[in-house]
Amino acid sequence: MYNELTDFEKSLAQFGDKVQLIVGLEVGGKLHADEAYKQIKDLVKDLKKLRKQEIKHGKDLDNFGFH
């Protein structure tokens, strides 16, 4: 099942894991809220860039609701 995932789908799963870690660090007082926001914003930017690359190469992302 997982070997059939696109790069975007794999990155989307990793995105969730990374956001969860960043939020945990912020809630635990190990990371300032501004830094947590910046890190998550950078992750979103990277994810959008990958999504655009996959669309450019003709990969079907319709099942994610991104248009």
In angstroms, the CA 24 to CA 22 distance is: 5
In angstroms, the CA 36 to CA 30 distance is: 10
Sketch the domain layout of the chain as residue ranges: 6-58
38-29-11-55 Cα dihedral, nearest 10 degrees: -30
Dig out the tokens for 36 from the structure.
């947590």
Report whether pLDDT(19) > 90: yes
Q: What is the pLDDT of residues 24-50, one digit of tens each?
A: 999 999 999 999 999 999 999 999 999
Mean pLDDT in the chain? 87
In angstroms, the CA 4 to CA 6 distance is: 7
In angstroms, the CA 2 to CA 47 distance is: 19
